[in-house]
């Protein structure tokens, strides 16, 4: 099991989004862009795959400790932090549904879009170019093996 697998499993187990992981890494002053983070979570056969180094995983784990436990000056209870995250998850999932802004009286009646009238075949604009029929034999190049001088 490599660092990428460990990082992926922690992300899934703690239900962390990319922006949350970036915030956790910022707690230990480690800057990573969203694109670099996405490359770490790609599959190994993807062309943009990036191997998760020891430094990235170490800083994530140190930031995770600070995120869950807090600092010495301001300690936190990890269980309360995880419960708060779980409450926020349910609130976010409820907000994902589309709100109904229109009331029943404000709805417009349904009007189907009118299809444009189709012109009968052959009655369109005539093309400016006059095409003469081409013989299929003219497309072939005959070479008897002798070069012309």
The predicted-structure confidence for 25-68, as pLDDT tens digits, reads as follows: 999 999 999 999 999 999 999 999 999 899 999 999 999 998 88
Lowest mean pLDDT among 23-27, 67-71, 142-146: 142-146
- 72 phi/psi in degrees, rounded to 5: -65, -35
Q: What is the mean pLDDT of the chain?
A: 78
pLDDT of residue 60: 93
- Between 71 and 33, residue with greater pLDDT: 33
pLDDT digits (tens, 9 = 90+) for 129-140: 666 666 666 666
Under 8 Å CB-to-CB from 64, ≥6 apart: which residues?
10, 14, 24
Percent of the chain topping pLDDT 90: 34
Q: What is the mean pLDDT of residues 71-97?
A: 71
The answer to whether 67 touches 82, Cβ cutoff 8 Å, is no
Q: Which of 35-44, 60-69, 92-101, 107-116 has the lowest mean pLDDT?
A: 92-101
User: What is the predicted pLDDT for the residue at 62?
Assistant: 93
Q: What is the pTM of this model?
A: 0.55
In the beta sheet, which residues pair with residue 49? none
Q: How far apart are CA 128 and CA 60, in angstroms?
A: 68
How many whole angstroms separate alpha carbon 3 and alpha carbon 1? 7
Across 88-115, b (16+ Cβ under 10 Å) vs e yields eeeeeeeeeeeeeeeeeeeeeeeeeeee
3-state secondary structure 73-129: CCECCHHHHHHHHHHHHHHHHHHCCCCCCCCHHHCCCCCCCCCCCCCCCCCCCCCCC
Q: Which of 31-35, 63-67, 73-77, 107-111 has the lowest mean pLDDT?
A: 107-111
């Amino acid at each position: 099991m490599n660092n990428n697998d460990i990082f992926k499993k922690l992300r899934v187990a703690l239900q962390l989004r990319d922006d949350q992981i970036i915030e956790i890494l910022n707690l230990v002053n480690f800057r990573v862009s969203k694109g670099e983070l996405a490359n770490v979570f790609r599959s190994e056969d993807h062309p943009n795959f990036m191997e998760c180094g020891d430094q990235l995983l170490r800083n994530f784990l140190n930031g995770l400790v600070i995120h869950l436990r807090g600092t010495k000056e301001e300690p936190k209870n990890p269980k309360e932090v995880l419960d708060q995250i779980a409450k926020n998850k349910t609130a976010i999932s409820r907000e994902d549904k589309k709100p109904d802004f229109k009331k029943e009286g404000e709805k417009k009646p349904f009007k189907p879009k009118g299809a444009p009238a189709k012109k009968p075949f052959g009655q369109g604009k005539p093309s400016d170019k006059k095409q003469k029929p081409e013989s299929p034999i003219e497309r072939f190049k005959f070479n008897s093996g002798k070069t012309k001088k």
